[in-house]
Structure 1
Amino acid sequence: MTSGPPAGVPADFVAALDALRSQALRPEVHLTEIPAPVRVAPYSVALSADVVPGAPEGSHFHDDDEALATGRFVLLHDPAGQEAWHGTFRVVTLVRATLEPEMAADPLLADIAWAWVTECLEGAGLDLGLDVRAEGGTVTRVLSRSFGALAGTPDAVDLEIRASWTPTDLNLGAHLAAWAALLSTAAGLPPLPVGVTTLTRRFASRAPRRPTVGP
């Protein structure tokens, strides 16, 4: 006897979760499931990630490991749809990374970072306008310069990319892969060679829950 989705949880959301959990990512991307927002949509799941180079497959991320980039991936689902989404699902992502100081002076840094978003979506096999719609976001850069007793500290440029879009089908694994590729790009990791299969790095399976929607 085949068991169906948990009572009260839409089959589409269960299928989306299954697609996320089955997606293999490069081993430098360490995923963790975190509490999801409860007032934005009736159903949601959230992941955080740290990009740590040279981490062997199956290893655990430790606080003293240096993360080259961090981020969040949130999948929202409203069976009734939301007008701003133009659909019933919405992917909301965040990527943060510290870049080389000389990049702060590049007037095209924001344009380049946003181009990473579209390139990573397309690199995951997603067609903008067909598989992805209503994409949007912001790119923020902050230059940190130290003075006084900390004057010897090198300048640092912190980059933050916020991007969201609406998937048009349940192939959510490709959307997770695109976000992981964006994290890896911001972290400065070289792209995987064509034909190289990514090693499995999945988040722990948990039963989907229906958050309580408050006022």
Structure 2
Amino acid sequence: MTASPPEVPGRFAAALASLRGRRTRPEVRLSEIPGPRRVAPYSLALEGEVISGGVELATGRFVVLHDPAGQDQWRGDFRVVTLVRAELEPELAGDEMLGDVAWTWVTENLESAQVGAIATGGTVTRVLSQSYGALARTPDAVDLEIRASWTPTDTDLGAHLEVWADLMSTAGGLPPLPDGVTALDVRRRTVEP
């Protein structure tokens, strides 16, 4: 005799439904990966990459956590946790404003998308890699990592997915699409969690 799987709460099912079929820029590729099991009773995780001209510009993760009982730190029953990584121009390593600018990408994307988000927090990390000895010919590299999380105020998490995809695209150096313009590509991938 096998145990039946636990029933998915209605709010989590609605959140997942809002992600299905959500369209992103054609340069953004998404795939589902196992979600974390210890942080919340219900989760979904997506891995993403931004590829243009055959070159990977940025990578990241989008995680949805749901605890029907809510969590005080979240100030709600959902939490969106994101990660974005991109390699930047070495000249940017010394720019004191780099962290501030990268964080404004998070806050401005949330504001311009007009998604309900509270308890927003995160970190911006930059790592300068310089090579020596046998690797001395390897060019210097600056890796940027943006970790951000927030609590959505409703179950329309598809809009939050778009915020994260835009954040990856911005970190990867793609120009923003003008307001009201949607990039069309018949090969465009949609989310199917």
- Normalising by structure 1, what TM-score? 0.83
How do residues 139-154 of structure 1 correspond to structure 2 at under 5 angstroms?
139-154=124-139
Moved more, 7-16 or 176-185: 7-16
Q: 1:171: Cα distance to partner?
A: 1.3
Give deviations 1:11-68, integer Å, cap 9, x for gaps.
11111001111321101000000000011101100000010014xxxxxxxxxx5311
Structure 1 residue 7 displacement after superposition: 6.2
Pair 1:68-2:57 in alignment: yes
Q: Distance in 2 between matches of 1:89 and 1:117?
A: 18
1:114, 1:53 → 2: CA distance?
23
**Per-residue deviation at 1:191?**
0.5
Shift of 1:151: 1.4
Query: Which runs of structure 2 are paired with 1:170-189 in the superposition (5 Å)?
Result: 170-189=155-174
Identical columns (%): 67
- 3-state SS of paired residue (2:44): strand
Alignment of 1:40-79 (within 5 A): 40-54=39-53, 65-79=54-68
Q: Aligned runs of 1:11-160 on 2, under 5 Å? A: 11-54=10-53, 65-126=54-115, 131-160=116-145
Q: CA separation in 1, counterparts of 2:180 and 2:145?
A: 30
For the pair 1:203 / 2:191, whether they are aligned, the reply is yes
Distance 2:30 2:52 in 1: 14
| Offset, 1:182 | 0.3
User: Separation in 2 of the partners of 1:84 and 1:44?
Assistant: 17
Q: Which runs of 4+ in 1 moved over 6 A?
A: none
Deviation at 1:203, TM superposition (A): 2.4
Greater mean deviation of Cα atoms: 149-158 or 74-83: 149-158
Whichever residue aligns with residue 152 of structure 1, its letter is R
Give 2:38's aligned amino acid: R
Structure 1: any 5+ residue segments left out of the alignment? 1-5, 55-64, 206-215
Cα distance between partner residues in 1 of 2:67 and 2:91: 43
Unaligned 5+ runs, structure 2: none
Report the TM-score, using the length of structure 2 for normalisation: 0.92
